[in-house]
Amino acid sequence: MDPTQRDHQQNIDLPAVQIVSLWRRLGALLYDGILLSALLLLATACLIIPYDLLATRPYPHTDWLYRTLLQAYLLAVIAGFYVYFWTHGGQTLGMRSWRVRVVRADGGPLSAADALRRFAWAAPSLLPLGLGLWWCLIDREHLAWHDRASGTRLLLARPKTAIHPLTTEH
């Protein structure tokens, strides 16, 4: 299959897809929040345990420089989580559970730059009490602020169909 056919198959007819409800968005965020909590705990342990074992003094939790570096590291872990999943199938594990997929505004898959742009716009969108997310209730295309600003949108993914083996009579 040549690359133009592959790209054409990955693009989606946007008017034909169903709109993702706010509740699905929130459900996927909740699931991803649980997963990220475990991932951040592991990422923190991978940094602090070796530090405590190798350093002559315990990790300086109160020092602003160490705290800022730790927060930057954890932000990079969160960004890496979203960018990886959004560029490899368009779904995080929480999004997969709620059958939600992210695509570019033209229906194509996200590149790393698209995913980073979406992640960068998500924080300002979610910070003022989630106002940017609630915006999808009144937006004519049902897009949140970060969807519109990053040129992406969420789609309702088709459910996976179970493949049943053919029964043969003997």
Domain membership flag for residue 76: yes
Residue 85 lies in a domain: yes
The answer to whether position 86 is within a domain reads: yes
| Residue 100 CB partners (closer than 8 Å, separation 6+) | 20, 24, 25, 28, 91, 154, 155, 156, 157
Query: Which DSSP category does 11 fall into?
Result: S
pLDDT value, residue 19: 82
Flag whether 119 is in a domain. Answer: yes
| Tokens found for residue 124 | 């300002």
**Is 146 within 8 Å of 122 (Cβ atoms)?**
yes
55-104 tens-digit pLDDT: 877 777 788 998 999 999 999 999 999 999 999 999 999 999 999 999 99
- Report if residue 2 sits inside a domain: no
pLDDT value, residue 2: 41
- The two tokens of residue 114 are 């698209």
pLDDT at 62: 81
Q: Domain total for the chain?
A: 1
pLDDT digits (tens, 9 = 90+) for 7-39: 444 555 555 567 899 999 999 999 999 999 999
Helices (H), 55-164: 64-87, 93-97, 112-126, 131-134, 145-150
Is residue 65 in some structural domain?
yes
Instruction: Identify the domain containing residue 131 by its residue range.
Output: 16-156
Is 29:22 a contact under the CB 8 Å cutoff?
A: no
Residues with Cβ within 8 Å of 26's Cβ and at least 6 positions away in sequence, in order, are 133
pLDDT for res 1: 39
Q: What is the mean pLDDT of the chain?
A: 86
pLDDT at 51: 86
